[in-house]
Homo-oligomer: A and B are copies of this chain.
Amino acid sequence: MKQKPVCDLIGFFKPKSIALIGVSRGASAFGGLSFMRRLLDAGYKGAVYPINPKAVEVLGIKTYPDLAALPEIPELVTVCVQAAYVPAILKECVRLSIRHIHILSAGFSEIGTEEGKNLEKEIASIAREGNLLIMGPNCMGPYCPSAGLTAWGAIPGLNGRLGVISQSGGITQRLTEHVTSLGVGVSKAASIGNATIIDSPEYLEFMGEDKEIDLIAMYLESVRDGRRLMRISGNISPCKPVIMLKGGRSEEGAITAASHTGGMAGDVKLWNAFFSQTGVIPVKNINEWADAVLAFSLLPKTEGNGLFIVGGGGGNSVIYSDAVMEEGLEVPALSQTSMDKIRSFVPVAGSIAGNPLDLWESFVNTDRLCEILDIAYKDPEIHMVVVDRLIPRIAFHSPEIDDPIPQIANFIGSHTQKKPTVFVVDYDGGDPELNAKGSALRTRFCLSGIPAYPSFERAARALVHFQKYYLRFKAKDRM
């Protein structure tokens, strides 16, 4: 059977020139003018052509009355006019052989009226006949830090190995901002809205073959060709992890999704079957999504699900054990060799020698912590490590200590055994200074290549996704 060729989507992400249609001074809060301002602020280096028949210049840049008047054929057209005017613009694009069009405008099937639905059908028909590639409508469009195309999302953008495909601009903004601030950069993100012409399977196929992308995060509400999504996901998933936040799992969520992007969210059972058949990793909220992205971006592969937990305190050791067991991870007993070493420095009273290891000293003595990591890395029962890291707080009587991160990062980075190791820095009270301190510590861990999470539960959930993926696809890795 002949396969559809992978769409030529690169023009969306690295266009040499962009024409913006609908850049008026009477624009609404988030119209074309504001979008253009962000594009310029974000440092896009290509040519920007505002189209406005009534103005001479906008934001200091010469305007043109229409696409035909431009000095060159723009590689990408961003359409910001009211929905009713979009069909005429698309016809002009066909006439001028412009292929890549991002429709920011909303007001199509998602508003639920006959007029909106008919407009969406009309643009679909024009696009198919004219062989247009359309991102949207009703979306923020492409985002590509290496091209300076970061009018929305994290600004300044950070180039990296992550691809994002999303039916929500807001969610994509949150995800890209979140991971970028922790040092995980984005190769390409597509906010695809109603995805009327090019749908998620095409973007996924494109990113699956994109050598600049190692990991794909998706937010989907609906898909037109579910079989195609399943086939492509199943092909890509063993090579590149695909982490999906599926919106509209519940009936109420599905109703909201129809008002958001106009599609039917589909049956939860079908989606569960999709996840189990393809190996695509399902997450339920943005934090879980970002946490998993962090783990897959920074950690070496794991060979198993045996977790070693270090340093949380007695009560925490208990509830952490509960949490990981409920998640399906193991907290195996350490080997006799490991226990002999550990007993040599863990006090009999007030600590717990074992797994979890409850040892106050692990918070304040980095040499000891590295010794503990060394024991874990050499123990065949242990495959992954999570370390609780306190920030100094008065209730814990915890002293300020020298910055431990360089020593820890160096130890982990240079160890011959590569076992996924994450940290938890979990201050969550109301003191803004301590929140900033905790955040700074987590960020510096991440920038040193070590994922750090704001709660143990979030670390555990990220590791669950991580190990499930690698245990599933281990066989293929080894072929």
Contact = CB atoms under 8 A, between A and B. Distances in A.
Interface of A: 28-30, 34, 38, 83, 105-107, 111, 138, 152-155, 166-171, 173-174, 176-183, 219, 221, 245, 247-253, 255-257, 259-261, 265, 284-287, 290, 312-319, 321-326, 331, 347-350, 352, 354, 356, 358, 360, 393-397, 428-440, 442-443, 446, 454-457
Top 7 A-B pairs, shortest CB-CB distance: A168-B315, A170-B313, A250-B325, A181-B430, A107-B349, A435-B439, A253-B322
A455 B457 CA distance: 14
Contacts of A324: 252
13 contacts: A83-B349, A107-B348, A138-B349, A154-B394, A168-B315, A171-B315, A181-B431, A181-B434, A250-B321, A250-B322, A260-B352, A285-B323, A433-B436
Number of this chain's copies in the assembly equals 2
Nearest to A312: B170
Contact of A167 (B171, B247, B315, B430): B315
Contact of A429 (B178, B347, B360): B178
B317 A260 contact: yes
B316 A284 contact: no
Contacts of A168: 313-316, 318
Nearest to A82: B349
B249 A171 contact: no
Given A183-B430, A360-B30, A106 B319 contact: no
A322 B432 contact: no
Contacts of A107: 348-350
Contact of A316 (B170, B397, B443): B170
